[in-house]
Structure 1
Amino acid sequence: PIVGAITVYLAWRFFDVPPVMGAIAVPLVFVFTLIAANSTALTAITPTGALGKLTQLTFGVLAPGNIKTNLMTAGITGEVAGHASNLLMDIKPGYMLGGKPRHQAIGHVLGIVAGALAAVPVFYFAFLKNNINNLASDTYPMPAAQIWKAVAELLTEGISNLPVSAAWAALIAALLGILFEAIN
């Protein structure tokens, strides 16, 4: 509860995410962590991007037109679920080498904190110091970030801006996914 409250506060303070929306993102973390852990266990691939898109769709409905809330809540849920799943991938090899799961979890959290303290200032000075609008460029295209941005813009501006062919493709893909899961 304490870390969740801190997360909600930081999302509100730094990214203007309404506290109610931040509070809704916290329970989604638990749901998406279960999904990510299951997916990682079955495929050895952590679906961070896909879970972020699910959050974007959720907050596209809950907070329509709010691009910051859309992106930041997706970052919260996707990253936490991703880190939890990655920790699970580290537990078995660590155990085989004699490490205790508790020590590995503590090391993982320390690594997250240390990485954040180092990466955020470096990223700021390398990419954001002059102008955030120049973030993606030919030198640093950042394709994954462009996808998150495109989804956020689509959900903010309205689904009516989606090309008809893309809507049909999404519908067919969803139906095929349901069919394949039912067959499986």
Structure 2
Amino acid sequence: MIYKTVESSLITFSQLMLPSHSNFSGKIHGGYLLSLMDQIAFACGSKYSGKYCVTASVDRVDFLTPVEVGELVTLNASVNYVGNTSMVIGIRVESQNVQTGEIRHCNSSYFTMICKEENGEKADAPKLILRSPNEIRRFYKALHRIEEHKKAALQVKDPMDYHSDDLINYLLEHYNVKIQLDSRL
């Protein structure tokens, strides 16, 4: 069995934000930042595993502060957790005003990447050596998120009747909605 350190997975990527990356309000497109995050997750997972990696899922992404045209965006990624064929890659995104030097945390997220063989089959990922309390914390937090996702998936079984008067009345009383049921559906 192969073991590797978190340090062997570290990737840092910086890019100057151009007007072509912006939306109509002059801020950088969230989708563009997500694309950069996916690229660094691939690079981090592939560097660590020595395998081709594909994105299996992206955990919650909250855009904390907007990124401006002309700022330098830096993404830092590391493997936080390793399963059999999957890895959770932690990504932190920061923007820097290159004139003032001010750095802001823009967002953080977790990408689950799957190791693949050349034939497309899943491949085993190297196991993880944890060397610091921070690495142990990140591993544990990833494990906790995985367990929470599994619990949520078990609760997806949906026995609710979406035509029930009780549910419809509840939605009408507590939320700002109109319900106009189409008899053809």
Give the TM-score taking structure 1 as reference length: 0.26
Is the helix fraction higher in 1 or 2? 1
Is the strand fraction higher in 1 or 2? 2
Q: Rg: which structure is higher?
A: 2
Give the TM-score taking structure 2 as reference length: 0.26
